[in-house]
Structure 1
Amino acid sequence: MTFSIVARCSKTGMFGVAVSSSSPAVAARCAYAQAGVGAVASQNITDPTLGIRGLELLARGASAAEAIAILKRTTYSEYRQVLAVDATGMSAIHSGPKALGIWAEARAENVACGGNLLANDGIPQAMVNAFLASEGHLGDRLIATMRAALKAGGEAGPVRSAGMKLVRDVSWPVADLRCDWTEECPIEQVAMLWELYKPQLDAYVTRAINPSDAPSYGVPGDE
Structure 2
Amino acid sequence: MTFSIAGYCKKTGMVGSAITSSSICVASRCAFAKSDVGVVLTQNVTNPALGPFGLEQLSSGATPEETLEKLKEHETYIEYRQLGILNAQGEGVTFSGENALGIYNEASGNACIAMGNLLDNSDVPAAMIASFESNEDLPLPQRLLSALQAGLDAGGEAGSVQSAGLQVYSNPSWPIVDLRVDWQDAPLSELQILLDMYEPQMNDYILRAESPAHAASYGVPGDL
Residue 219 of structure 2 is matched in structure 1 by 218
* Alignment partners' CA distance in 2, 1:138 and 1:87: 13
* Alignment partners' CA distance in 2, 1:51 and 1:221: 41
Gaps of 5+ in 1: none
3-state SS, counterpart of residue 48 of structure 1 = coil
1:60 to partner: Cα distance: 0.6
Residue 172 of structure 1 is matched in structure 2 by 174
* Alignment partners' CA distance in 2, 1:210 and 1:188: 34
1:109 to partner: Cα distance: 2.9
Residue 157 of structure 1 is matched in structure 2 by 159
* Alignment partners' CA distance in 1, 2:142 and 2:44: 26
**What do residues 50-102 of structure 1 show as CA deviations (whole Å, max 9, x unaligned)?**
11111111111111111112112221000001101112211101110100110
Residue 115 of structure 1 is matched in structure 2 by 116
* Alignment partners' CA distance in 1, 2:34 and 2:85: 12
1:110 to partner: Cα distance: 1.0
1:143 to partner: Cα distance: 1.1
Matched, 1:78 2:49: no
Q: TM-score, normalised by structure 2?
A: 0.97
The answer to whether the 8 A contact 1:72-1:94 is kept is no
Where does structure 1 differ by over 4 angstroms across 4 or more consecutive aligned residues?
A: none
Tell me the percent identity.
47
1:217 to partner: Cα distance: 4.0
The answer to whether the 8 A contact 2:38-2:85 is kept is yes
Residue 101 of structure 2 is matched in structure 1 by 100
The count of corresponding residues between Structure 1 and Structure 2 is: 222
Gaps of 5+ in 2: none
* Alignment partners' CA distance in 1, 2:205 and 2:38: 22
* Alignment partners' CA distance in 2, 1:109 and 1:55: 21
Residue 145 of structure 1 is matched in structure 2 by 147
* Alignment partners' CA distance in 2, 1:101 and 1:190: 26
1:218 to partner: Cα distance: 2.2
Residue 29 of structure 1 is matched in structure 2 by 29
Residue 136 of structure 1 is matched in structure 2 by 138
Q: TM-score, normalised by structure 1?
A: 0.97
How large is the Cα RMSD of the aligned pairs?
A: 0.9
The answer to whether the 8 A contact 2:14-2:170 is kept is yes
Q: Which letter does structure 1 place at the counterpart of 2:7?
A: A
* Alignment partners' CA distance in 1, 2:64 and 2:204: 32
* Alignment partners' CA distance in 2, 1:53 and 1:222: 42
The answer to whether the 8 A contact 1:9-1:15 is kept is yes
* Alignment partners' CA distance in 2, 1:218 and 1:133: 37
Identify the range of structure 1 (150-159 vs 210-219) with the bigger mean alpha-carbon deviation.
Answer: 210-219
Residue 55 of structure 2 is matched in structure 1 by 55
* Alignment partners' CA distance in 2, 1:139 and 1:112: 15
* Alignment partners' CA distance in 2, 1:96 and 1:122: 18
Residue 185 of structure 1 is matched in structure 2 by 186
Q: Which letter does structure 2 place at the counterpart of 1:205?
A: I
3-state SS, counterpart of residue 158 of structure 1 = coil
Residue 19 of structure 2 is matched in structure 1 by 19
